[in-house]
Amino acid sequence: MRFRLPRKGLPQIAAFVVVLLINFAVSPQFFDIRLQDGRLFGSFIDVFNRGAPVALLSLGMVLVVATRGIDLSVGAVMAIAGAIAATLADTHALPVVLLAALGAGLLCGLWNGILVAVLGIQPIIATLILMVAGRGIAQLITEGRIVTFTSPELARFGGGAILGLPVPVVLTASVLAVAVIAIRGTALGLLIEATGANARASALAGIETRTTTIAVYVWSGFCAALAGIVAAADILGADANNAGLWLELDAILAVVIAGSSLLGGRFSLALAVLGALTIQAMNTGILLAGFRPEFNLVVKAVVVLLVLLAQSPRLSGVAVLLARRPA
Amino acid sequence: MSPSPSPTAATAATPLLAVRGLSKSFAGFPALDGVDVTLRHGEIHALLGENGAGKSTFIKAITGVVTRDAGTVTLDGAPVAPRSADEALKAGIATVYQEVNLLPNLTVAQNLFLGRQPTRFGLVREVEMRRRSIALLRDFDLDIDVGAPLGDYSVAVQHLVAIARAVDMSARILILDEPTASLDAHEVEILFRVMRNLAGKGLGILFVTHFLDQVYAITDRITVLRNGRLVGERETAALPRMELIRMMLGRELSEAASEHPAKAATEAAPDAGGAIRFEGFGKAGYVAPFDLALASGQVVGLAGLLGSGRTETARLLFGVESADHGRLTIDGEAVRLASPRDAIRHGFGYCPEERKTEGIVAELTVRENIVLALQARRGALHPLSRREQDAIAQRFITMLDIRPPDPERPIGLLSGGNQQKALLARWLATEPRLLILDEPTRGIDVGAHAEIIRLIRQLCTEGLALVVISSELEEIVSYADRVIVMRDRRQTAVLEGEAVNVTAILQAIAADTPPLAA
Ligand SMILES: Nc1ncnc2c1ncn2[C@@H]1O[C@H](COP(=O)(O)OP(=O)(O)OP(=O)(O)O)[C@@H](O)[C@H]1O
Ligand SMILES: [Mg+2]
């Protein structure tokens, strides 16, 4: 029986392809790819490479939004994780650096989760606390300076390559794959969706809604820390003021483009990543076209509007009517 | 339609409301197909049909909540086409929809006067609003604090508030979609009094219900729908019950199933020990301590008036509220009951009264809703495979005749009665040893009603223990071995054996006996 019109994912894929084609029209070299020092380069590859941090954030955000929450702190958590990684990079072994940075992300997530699920604070307020305080914490870690490092091991997370693919791309793809297996391969996905769509009914059906909610914030903190490590590794340093600044908004946007409702419920991990890539492709296209970056915001807004219109059930109702008219 | 004398012959020529050829499809599926309904001045008109027949859709289509594909609606001869419930109101049509849409965070008074608050200099006149609210609710014998949030009150009270609001706003037509599903006999009587009063003033009332007794008690005419089509319009007095059922179902309902048959004598005499024992169970300010022992196969009914503490008791039994008194032993072992999860772990199931907010997860599919409790009990790491899920969903869709039989449809798109069946399936799928049902047949049609009672009884012979709350005493009597009567949140009487009959229960409810349990 056909009930979901339009088919799931179609508008998102179409939007991504359209943006890519526009980029190609603007810059005929867009799809050119070259291999240099064992790593692929080119604008098209760049979309994936530059898009990795937001893609990672949106993998966390999509689950938070599915539980009817929101995580405004992810940009700040990126800054904290980046600051920790950059500060420790030249003095500690890589595993220690990673554990410390990721551990900080998990802790941040746990804090958010407890505020939301245990204390019952509205997610937008609860995570606003860390959004504001987090940057301060990051500055304390970097002592207000821009910390740079030289560790080639950590630098690989930004500029390295595996089988020609940039490490951030491989990392994002792996996290996506692991998340899909862990969430859709188990019943987690269903339990998260149920919790978000109707928490009271879910609790009465025996779902541990509180634990589920805490877990998604912890996961979001973890993803944000990963994104922070990638961003720091990319610039070989940490700037507590600017790392991940406003990226929480891009992540939310990516999740919305992916078709999630901010009222919780259904979600798609893959489409969230696709949403992040679409945003990055727009950024790249605007740069290639030589527009001033200010345009970026306007264009982004227009594209988001179009994707949302394409998903609107009302509009698809109108489309069905129009399609039926000749009959 | 055969012309027949109407209550006020003078107005028979132009009906109050004439709906002609109303059609509505959802994504290619016709939910209504060329339906005609005529509502006369001063008439109470029943709109009947099985679950999913299209009654609610009909109401939504004429009040503009859903757009109609074809058809005309005329009000006193003038065509009307409201595009929203609000516009319908302006045209004089007030409606209480099946799923009541009030705002639980606002006060009772605010809900009653939402969008039409009395104002002075642009400011809401709180005192005036409260005064009028109290007066309005007095018509319904409802004496509650109108300054408290609506969500603090039971479903029945919320429903009455919605009805009072609609009654107050109805200028020409009042439409009630299963208004009595959560009401007790007493409230139903009050509602009927109000309805008769309005009809006496010339209003037309369209009334949807699955209680045939109520149809015969109050309506003048009946329109029956089946599968979205009009079956016919009849005068209530001239339509025998069996004939009405045949019109609704399109087949005979077996004699046995249509009545509430006396329950078969319980062969396995309940063993004196009682496998599940609640002792001195209670919570201060919520439900007074009570004892309840349930042997396997036993059915206990909870009876009482609105607000007597039946739902509260159910929530205590299921761990939704934690008891601060007493203890629970299962098979002789003391058991902690701190959450629904604890209860489920011990094989309890609970079908709450509030279908929309506590029951269904609207955007998930019927399949997902059915497997939800079972999956939650197994834990996230032990997922039911898709094949198992399909098999479970299919089994219950067939067993309970859920329509349409499409496991992949979001449950929110099903008709009310079919949602209720899916919720029952959710708990049956967990194969519980104790099932707590709060108004289990709420909104379920005559055909399915008998089926479900039969099914539940069969499960009891297979060892299921059952606690059932129902405002239909016949339903309680038809399966309960024991009936606990409650008042003011405490047990006031326990009826057993021969004493389990409607008259005795009614007497016990009315009696001014001192509380039993202390
Ligand atoms: N928004 C919707 N989308 C798709 N199908 C729908 C929608 N609303 C209702 N339906 C379908 O239309 C049919 C009629 O539903 P409706 O709610 O009108 O039934 P009803 O007669 O009120 O039943 P009940 O007695 O159970 O309340 C059902 O098959 C239902 O699944
Ligand atoms: Mg209905």
| Residue B274 clears pLDDT 80, i.e. is over it | no
Going by alpha carbons, the residue nearest to atom 12 of ligand 1 is B31
Report the amino acid identity of residue B4. Answer: S
Q: Average pLDDT of A54-74?
A: 97
Cα three-residue angle B372-B377-B383, rounded to 5 degrees:
70
- The residue with greater pLDDT, A89 or B441, is A89
The pLDDT > 90 percentage for chain B reads 59
pLDDT per residue as tens digits for the range B228-246: 999 999 999 999 998 999 9
Q: Is the CB of residue B341 less than 8 Å away from at least one CB of chain A?
A: yes
The per-residue pLDDT for A1 is 36
pLDDT of residue B440: 86
Sign of the dihedral through C-alpha A281, A286, A290, A294: negative
Instruction: Report how far apart the first and last C-alpha atoms of chain A are (Å, whole number).
Output: 21
pLDDT digits (tens, 9 = 90+) for A236-252: 999 999 999 999 999 99
Q: Given a cut of 90, is residue B508 above it in pLDDT?
A: no
The structural domains of chain B, ordered by start, are 266-347+434-518 (3.40.50.300), 359-431 (no CATH)
Cα–ligand 1 centroid distance for B413 (angstroms):
7
What ipTM was estimated for this complex?
A: 0.89
The tally of CA atoms less than 13 A away on the side-chain side of residue B423 is: 35
pLDDT band at residue A318 under the 50/70/90 scheme: low
CB B69 within 8 A of CB B262: no
β-pair partners for B234: B222
Measured CA distances, A199 to A192, A263, B358, B427 (Å): 10, 11, 8, 18
CA distance linking residue B392 with residue B384, whole number of Å: 10
pLDDT at B253 over 80: no
Most confident of B283-292, B368-377, B480-489: B368-377
What are the residues whose beta carbons fall under 8 Å from the beta carbon of A70, sequence distance 6 or more?
Answer: A61, A64, A123, A124, A127, A252, A262
The residue of A5, A65, A190, A314 whose CB has the most chain B CBs within 10 angstroms, and thus the best one to mutate to test that interface, is: A190
Residue B364 with chain A: CB contacts under 8 Å: 190, 193-194, 197, 265
Residue A87 falls inside a structural domain: yes
pLDDT at A316: 57
**Nearest CA-CA partner of B212 in B175, B249, B173:** B249
Q: State whether residue B344 sits within 8 Å of chain A by CB.
A: yes
Predicted confidence (pLDDT) per residue in B139-182, tens digit: 888 889 999 999 888 888 888 899 899 989 888 999 999 988 77
What pLDDT, in 10s, does the model give residues B344-399? Answer: 999 999 999 888 889 999 999 999 999 999 999 999 999 999 999 999 999 999 99
Phi–psi pair at A45, nearest 5 degrees: -60, -35
List the single range of A143-147, A309-313, B74-78, B469-473 with lowest mean pLDDT.
A309-313
| B residues 455..514 contacting A (CB < 8 A) | none
* A114-123, A155-164, B57-66, B490-499: least confidently modelled range: B490-499
Q: Is the model more confident about A310 or about B385? A: B385
pLDDT at B269 > cutoff 70: no
Give the number of other Cβ atoms within 10 Å of residue B159's Cβ. Answer: 22
**Atom 31 in ligand 1: which residue has the minimum CA distance?**
B414
Query: Which of B64, B88, B61 is closest to B75 using CA atoms?
Result: B88
Tokens linked to A142: 């970097």
Query: What gap in Å lies between CA B343 and CA B378, rounded to an integer?
Result: 14
Per-residue pLDDT tens digits for A65-85: 999 999 999 999 999 999 999
Averaged pLDDT, A285-309:
78
In a domain, A152, yes or no: yes
Residue whose Cα lies nearest atom 22 of ligand 1: it is: B56
Q: What integer best gives the mean pLDDT of chain B?
A: 87
For B375, the closest of A187, A204, A320 (CB atoms) is A187
Please report which confidence band the pLDDT of residue A293 belongs to, taking 50, 70 and 90 as the band edges: confident
Q: Using CA coordinates, name the residue in chain A closest to B380.
A: A187
| Residue of A295 and B323 predicted with greater confidence | B323
* Chain B residues near residue A260 by CB distance under 8 angstroms: none
A308 is a domain residue? no
Query: What is the C-alpha separation between B383 and B391, in angstroms, rounded?
Result: 14
Structural domains counted in chain A: 1
Residue A177 is predicted with a pLDDT of 97
- A302 close to A309: Cβ distance less than 8 angstroms: no
What residues does the ion ligand 2 have nearby, CB within 5 Å?
Answer: B 56, 98, 415-416
Helices A269-288, A247-257: crossing angle, 10 deg rounding:
120
- With CA atoms as reference, report the closest residue to B191 among B204, B202, B176, B203: B176
Question: Would residue A41 count as lying in a domain?
Answer: no
pLDDT at B28: 84
Kindly tell me if the per-residue pLDDT of B17 is higher than 60.
yes
Among residues B111, B113, B91, the alpha carbon closest in space to that of B102 is found at: B111
Residue of chain B with shortest Cα separation from A316: B27
Is position A36 within any domain? no
pLDDT bracket for residue B517 (50, 70, 90): very low
* B407 CA to centre of ligand 2 in angstroms: 19
Residue B483 in this model has a pLDDT that exceeds 50: yes
- In this prediction, residue B262 carries a pLDDT of 46
pLDDT confidence tier of residue B217, bands split at 50, 70 and 90: very high
**Rounded Cα–Cα distance for residues A305 and A16 (Å):** 14
**How far is the C-alpha of A229 from the C-alpha of A210, rounded, in Å?**
29
R_g over Cα of chain B: 23
* Strands A39-41 and B70-75, sheet pairing: unpaired
Domain that residue A100 falls in? 52-275
Mean pLDDT of A79-95: 96
Q: At B256, is the pLDDT very low, low, confident or very high (cuts 50, 70, 90)?
A: very low
Which residue, among A120, A117, A141, has the nearest Cα to A218 in the 3D structure?
A117
* pLDDT number for residue B512: 60
Minimal Cβ distance to A3: which of B341, B377, B409: B409
- The mean predicted confidence, pLDDT, of chain A is 90
Choose the residue to mutate in B62, B365, B408, B413 for probing ligand 1, maximizing ligand atoms within 8 Å of C-beta: B413
Share of chain A above pLDDT 70, in %: 91
**Residue A311: what pLDDT?**
67
From the number of C-beta atoms within 10 Å of its C-beta (0-12, 13-18, 19+), residue B279 rates as middle
pLDDT at B500: 87
Q: Which residues of A touch B367 (CB under 8 A)?
A: none
pLDDT reading at A204 higher than 70: yes
Distance from first CA to last CA of chain B, Å, rounded? 61
As for ligand 1, residues whose beta carbon falls within 6 Å of it are B 26, 31, 49, 51-57, 98, 404, 413-418, 443, 445
* Mean pLDDT of the region A311-318: 62
Query: pLDDT confidence of A2, banded at 50, 70, 90?
Result: very low
Interface test with A, best of B348, B356, B364 (most A CBs within 10 A): B364
Q: Is residue A297 part of a domain?
A: no
Instruction: Indicate the SS3 state at residue B192.
Output: helix
- Count CA within 13 A, CB hemisphere, residue A166: 25
Per the domain annotation, does A161 fall within a domain? yes
Alpha-carbon torsion angle B498, B504, B509, B514, nearest 10: -70
